Amino acid sequence: MDLAVFGGGDGGVTGGGGIEETGRQRAALRLNVLHLQRSFTCLEQARMPVLAAIQGGCIGGAVDMVTAADCRYATEDAFFCIQEINIGMTADVGTLQRLPKLIPEGVARELAYTGRRLPADQAKAVGLVNEVFPDHEALLAGVHEVAAEIASKSPLAVHGTKETILFSRDHSVDDSLKYIAAWQTGMFQPADMAETFAAKAEGREPVFEDLGEIRRGL
Cβ(19)–Cβ(31) below 8 Å: no
Residue 188's pLDDT is 86
For the domain that residue 109 is a member of, what is the CATH number?
A: 3.90.226.10
Residue 124 shares a structural domain with residue 181 = no
Task: Supply the range of the domain harboring residue 118.
Answer: 51-149
Q: What is the pLDDT along the chain (218 residues), one digit of tens a residue?
A: 666 666 555 555 444 567 889 999 999 999 999 999 999 999 999 999 999 999 999 999 999 999 999 999 999 999 999 999 999 999 999 999 999 999 999 999 999 999 999 999 999 999 999 999 999 999 999 999 999 999 999 999 999 999 999 999 999 999 999 999 999 998 888 899 999 999 999 999 999 999 988 877 65
Residue 129 shares a structural domain with residue 59 = yes
In a domain, 137, yes or no: yes
Cα distance between residue 70 and residue 143, in whole Å: 12
Whole-structure pTM value = 0.88
168 burial via Cβ count (<10 Å: 0-12, 13-18, 19+): middle
In a domain, 17, yes or no: no
In a domain, 167, yes or no: yes
Residue 9's pLDDT is 54
What domain count does the chain have?
Answer: 2
Residue 134 shares a structural domain with residue 170 = no
Residue 182 shares a structural domain with residue 141 = no
In a domain, 11, yes or no: no
